Amino acid sequence: MEYVKLNNGVEMPILGYGVYQVTPEECERCVSDAIAAGYRSIDTAQAYYNEEGVGNAIRACGVPREELFITTKVWISNSGYERAKTSIDESLRKLRTDYVDLLLIHQPFGDYYGTYRAMEEAYKAGKTRAIGVSNFYPDRFVDLAEFFEVKPVVNQVETHVFNQQVKLLEIMKEYGTRVMSWGPFAEGRNDFFTNETLGTIGAKYGKSVAQVALRFLIQRGIIVIPKSTHRERMEENFNVFDFELTGEDMTAIGLLDKGESLFFSHYDPETVRFLINIGK
């Protein structure tokens, strides 16, 4: 496993396991399988409604808590200082742990300034080892980062071969903030799994399209959290540290970048209405 050092000195695995859209019923089994496959970083969120499953798995897995890296996120309905503060304690209860390793604001809506104040307080109290944000476009990220003592260590955003976040990476570098990819496989959109460029490159190394896509992001220093409910896919996604893409490979994959989201825009009022009504 390779690690990245966050801007507060905490080390985080560059590859983790994400549980977005893993049902509460399946979550404990999936996280247990992922840990057994070698994963030590698990990414969940209040809005995924499966924190309890993650907590049960990490409590029963036999791996010491200090060897695991657990991330969760505060949802919009819990935004604001008081609500966020209460929800952080509730997440810790559900996760069956005294602390998380990384705590993020899930979306840049609601009173996210108040949320970040509660997160700073949790950080200083030892309830989380690091804090950051998710889905913050450059404008809102800069606005937040400039007004707080504790700079976000991570910005988790849609990042994959079709949306490589080149401009965002430049801005995050100014703040020492790591980009963390959600949707590293673009959720199969744009015929991802049959992409000719990725397939041709993969054939050279005996690797799958998914493995090439993960390796591309990892070599750019981007944290990845692929999700699968199948043990064999978890193992395949984990097996990306025994080969290295050449400069020519990286350039070819770079040409796949469309520079825009395949999912939604936070500049779209209907998207904002949809998101802020989840969990109300």
| pLDDT at res. 248 | 98
Per-residue model confidence (pLDDT) at position 280: 76
Cα–Cα distance measured from residue 164 to residue 185, given in angstroms and rounded to the nearest whole number: 12
123 annotated active-site: no
Task: To the nearest 10°, report the CA torsion of 160, 166, 7, 265.
Answer: -70
Catalytic residue among 48, 112, 116, 123: 48
pLDDT for the residue numbered 6: 98
Which residues lie across from 73 on neighbouring strands? 104
Task: For the full predicted model, state whether its pTM sits above 0.85.
Answer: yes
Beta strands in 88-202 (DSSP E): 102-105, 131-134, 154-158, 178-182
In tens digits, what is the pLDDT along the chain, a chain of 280 residues? Answer: 999 999 999 999 999 999 999 999 999 999 999 999 999 999 999 999 999 999 999 999 999 999 999 999 999 999 999 999 999 999 999 999 999 999 999 999 999 999 999 999 999 999 999 999 999 999 999 999 999 999 999 999 999 999 999 999 999 999 999 999 999 999 999 999 999 999 999 999 999 999 999 999 999 999 999 999 999 999 999 999 999 999 999 999 999 999 999 999 999 999 999 999 997 7
The distance in angstroms from the start CA to the end CA of the chain is 39
Q: Tell me what pLDDT residue 177 has.
A: 98
Give me the domain span that covers residue 237: 3-277
**Cα–Cα distance, 37 to 25 (Å, whole number):** 20
CATH of the domain at 246: 3.20.20.100
Token duo for residue 279? 């969990």
- What's the total number of domains in the chain? 1
